[in-house]
């Protein structure tokens, strides 16, 4: 087989490295790289793994036994040099290296992984890694499902072939089985080995193993389905396959050309000429390959662009809380890298927690904690660089302003000078009576924060001793809770050192009693829309607020409005019930790997990852003005009956071991499914669990059927979790998948599986049959 590192010279350029050179350099376990972050640099080892489809990087020091696996498929871009990135600019001031030793690996939106900034020992190594990863990504992007599977199998075969003679002995075949998570009793193993040892050499060639694997890959349930469709003659003709696609897989508008195009992809015997024969036969292997490619969510669901011309209030907006943090909220590091990462993941609303810094320079950090501090100016520079790399739609800078007047003025100055024409400085339409649309705000950055009241006409009440600031008698929710800088006697935490917890708590209690704040006019003038306003109650908001106002509610307060909402995780909360109650901006900690972020990620994968998702019609402004919709009252729902999802969990394929290890025992998998949504959908009746299958992660078969219901497929997600049954210890979670229920395609479907970060676990999948009815 061709090497994954071969260059096909598609760009017409001469490539300086052979596949052998790249393979030698990228698999060398002695080379040390320096991993760079904004505030530190640490030694790491990194190697291209045996499958040539993933890299392993040590997570602590240079010990590769403690390593993280990174799929090459999750890489968005690999670039050589330092460019104009802030991380590299700071690194140059701290360590000596040449620009051509440096390279950056950026990751796809779905992975939620921060970019890797790496310095190689020499320029040759850096160039080889950039070239090698680029070649692999190019080849993988053009592979069919069958080719990808064959390549994966070939690398497993090579890894099991310890002596490199091109054949596998019995012990090597057992090692091969273990690597693909398959356990077999001795009698069955001997029978299978004997069947494929066609030359009686007591070993299996690559061709033997490929045939053996193809037999194992086609589980009985797929065989049975094939023969059921084929009928008495046990051959599946093209016309019968078309009927299956239209009747059971719900393919619409299936033209002859589209049908032929599909068959050419998965049926090995298909040619241009024989596909003209209506009696052309599709073999069992080709049918199995089709089944493996039958996606539960069609790509068009993600690729379709929604109507972006409606008012901003009609959209959910991908939003980040404490964006500046890379880790723990009390002691973790703050970094501009966190803003870059969030923006590259499609986040459209980022938080800036601003405090007085030394030398008159405002800083950003989690106030009254031991998290590190970063420059406000550096953050604005990073936003300028990365705001529109992933999406052209508008970005909101949500300011939590704890600074005194002089540094507020400095904040305004930096935003005007650095953001330039990107910064929204005036209403989109002077005659508007509602928020503009994302389309109208395309390419703009707008500021969310406090706004002076001079325009309200009550100048006597609000006017201070000069025109630079006015005294405001209302404080937003975030200001009340975070110790806003309330006057000339209020000290900034910078310079005070650490504050004991008891004293801190006392300070904050006192701060909540103080209602007056000072706000510089220059900063106020930048707040056009989303002007922060304290939410007293909804009646007050209806009477005294307009479209330019916004109220911030923390998750605990929100749960008192959303009756049955409870916090699932200490770091993040389930965003679905909050979306269901009408909130547009539901800010989550993007740095936290958890189920709630995976839900958020699944939602904002829609609409081409624009960071804006159009709300269901019953939650939009026009509909809410004309109805009395209440998420807790079924009589106000847009339908009279819930949807029913009959789900048969048929089987699994190539499930991973805990922590994606290649070692350890074969897993005993089981599956949990649950509807995650508003309270009316998220209940015990909508949570089901299969039995566990003993010692089979390669092709476990459950054949268990459950029925779940949802009133709101537009809001709810189908949560799918795969566990390894353990005795005496907590069951290991192996994989997950979150599916927007209104995007699920009925029929026989493959469920893609992901790790806790949202990275693909291909080729691991589940096989479901789904029926949907109302």
HSE of 187, CA atoms in CB hemisphere, 13 A: 0
Closest CA to 270 of 252, 282, 285: 282
Q: Is 465 exposed, middle or buried (0-12, 13-18, 19+ CB in 10 A)?
A: exposed
What DSSP line would sit under 256-314, residue for residue?
Answer: HHHHHHHHHHH-TT--TTGGG-TTPEEPHHHHHHHHHH-BSB-HHHHHPPP---S-GGG
Closest CA to 321 of 667, 556, 572: 572
Instruction: Give the H or E element holding residue 525.
Output: none
Pair 142, 181: CB distance under 8 Å: no
Distance of alpha carbon 581 from alpha carbon 577, whole angstroms:
6
Residue 15 annotated among the catalytic residues of the structure: no
Backbone phi and psi for residue 167, each to the nearest 5 degrees, phi listed first? -135, 160
Helix-then-strand count for the chain, H and E: 24, 31
Indicate which residue of 149, 366, 402, 520 is catalytic. 366
Indicate which residue of 321, 402, 404, 769 is catalytic. 321
**Extended beta strands in 390-458, E state:** 395-401, 445-448
Distance of alpha carbon 205 from alpha carbon 231, whole angstroms:
35
Distance of alpha carbon 562 from alpha carbon 630, whole angstroms:
11
DSSP 490: P
Closest CA to 196 of 224, 666, 188: 188
Pair 605, 302: CB distance under 8 Å: yes
How does 567-588 read in b/e, with b if 16+ C-beta sit within 10 Å? eeeebbbbbbbbbbbbbbbbbb
Pair 311, 434: CB distance under 8 Å: yes
Instruction: Give the H or E element holding residue 35.
Output: strand 32-36
Residue 251 annotated among the catalytic residues of the structure: no
How does 341-368 read in b/e, with b if 16+ C-beta sit within 10 Å? bbbbbbbbbbbbbbbbbeeebbbbbbbb
Map residue 523 onto helix, strand or coil: helix
Active centre residues (catalytic):
321, 366
């Amino acid at each position: 087989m061709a090497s994954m590192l071969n260059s096909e010279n598609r760009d017409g350029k001469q490539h300086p490295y052979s596949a052998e050179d790249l393979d030698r350099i990228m698999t060398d376990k002695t080379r040390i790289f320096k991993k760079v972050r904004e505030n530190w640099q640490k030694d790491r080892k990194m190697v291209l793994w045996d499958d040539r489809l993933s890299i392993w990087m040590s997570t602590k020091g240079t010990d590769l036994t403690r390593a993280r696996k990174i799929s090459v498929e999750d890489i968005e871009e690999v670039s050589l040099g330092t460019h104009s990135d802030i991380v590299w600019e700071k690194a140059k001031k701290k360590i000596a290296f040449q620009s051509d030793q440096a390279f950056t690996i950026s990751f796809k939106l779905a992975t939620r992984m921060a970019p890797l900034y790496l310095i190689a020992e020499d320029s040759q190594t850096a160039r080889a890694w950039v070239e090698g990863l680029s070649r692999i990504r190019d080849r993988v992007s053009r592979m069919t499902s069958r080719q990808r599977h064959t390549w994966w199998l070939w690398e497993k075969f090579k890894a099991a072939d310890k002596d490199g003679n091109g054949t596998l002995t019995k012990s090597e075949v057992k090692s091969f089985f273990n690597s693909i998570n398959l356990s077999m009793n001795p009698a069955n193993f001997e029978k299978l080995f004997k069947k494929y040892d066609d030359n009686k050499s007591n070993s299996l060639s690559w061709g033997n193993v490929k045939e053996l694997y193809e037999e194992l890959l086609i589980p009985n349930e797929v065989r049975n389905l094939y023969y059921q469709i084929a009928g008495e003659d046990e051959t599946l003709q093209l016309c019968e396959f078309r009927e299956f696609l239209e009747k059971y897989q719900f393919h619409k508008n299936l033209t002859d050309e589209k049908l032929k195009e599909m068959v050419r992809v998965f049926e090995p015997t298909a040619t241009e000429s024989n596909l003209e024969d209506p009696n052309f036969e599709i073999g069992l292997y080709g049918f199995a390959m089709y089944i493996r490619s039958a996606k539960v969510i069609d790509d068009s669901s993600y690729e379709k662009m929604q109507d972006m011309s409606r008012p901003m209030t009609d959209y959910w907006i991908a939003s980040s809380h404490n964006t500046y943090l890379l880790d723990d909220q009390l002691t973790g590091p703050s970094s501009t890298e966190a803003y870059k990462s969030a923006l590259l993941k499609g986040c459209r609303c980022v938080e800036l927690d601003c405090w007085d810094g030394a030398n008159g320079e405002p800083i950003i950090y989690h106030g009254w904690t031991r998290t590190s501090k970063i420059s406000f100016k550096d953050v604005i520079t990073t936003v300028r660089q990365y705001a529109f790399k992933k999406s052209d739609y508008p970005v909101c800078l949500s300011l939590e302003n704890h600074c005194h007047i002089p540094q507020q003025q400095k904040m305004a100055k930096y935003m005007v000078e650095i953001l330039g024409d990107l910064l929204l400085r005036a209403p989109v339409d002077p005659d508007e009576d509602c928020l503009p649309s994302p389309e109208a705000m395309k390419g703009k950055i707008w500021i969310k924060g406090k706004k002076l009241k001079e325009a309200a006409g009550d100048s006597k009440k609000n006017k201070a001793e000069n025109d630079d600031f006015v005294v405001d008698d209302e404080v937003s929710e975030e200001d009340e809770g975070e110790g806003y800088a309330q006057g000339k006697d209020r000290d900034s935490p910078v310079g005070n050192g650490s504050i004991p917890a008891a004293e801190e708590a006392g300070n904050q209690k006192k701060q909540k009693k103080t209602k007056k704040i000072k706000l510089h006019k220059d900063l106020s003038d930048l707040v056009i829309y989303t002007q922060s306003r304290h939410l007293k109650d909804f009646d007050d908001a209806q009477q005294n607020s307009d479209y330019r106002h916004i109220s911030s509610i923390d998750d605990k307060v929100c749960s008192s409005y959303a009756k049955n909402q409870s916090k699932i995780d200490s770091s993040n909360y389930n965003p679905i019930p909050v979306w269901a109650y009408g909130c547009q901006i539901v800010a989550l900690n993007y740095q936290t790997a958890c189920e709630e972020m995976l839900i958020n990620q699944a939602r904002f994968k829609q609409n081409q990852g624009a960071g804006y998702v159009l709300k269901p019609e019953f939650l939009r402004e026009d509909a809410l003005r004309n109805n009395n919709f209440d998420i807790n009252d079924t009589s106000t729902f847009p339908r009279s009956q819930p949807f029913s999802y009959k789900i048969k969990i048929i089987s699994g394929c190539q499930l991973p071991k805990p922590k994606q290890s290649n070692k350890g025992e074969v897993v005993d998998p089981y599956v949990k499914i649950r509807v995650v949504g508003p309270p009316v959908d998220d209940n015990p009746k909508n949570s089901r669990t299969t039995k566990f299958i003993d010692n089979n992660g390669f092709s476990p078969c459950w054949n268990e059927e459950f029925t779940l219901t949802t009133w709101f497929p537009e809001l709810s997600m189908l949560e799918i979790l795969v566990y390894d049954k353990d005795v005496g210890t907590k069951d290991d979670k192996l994989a997950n998948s979150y599916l927007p229920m209104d995007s699920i395609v009925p029929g026989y479907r493959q469920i893609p599986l992901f790790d806790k970060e949202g990275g693909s676990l291909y080729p691991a999948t589940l096989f479901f049959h789904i029926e949907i009815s109302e």
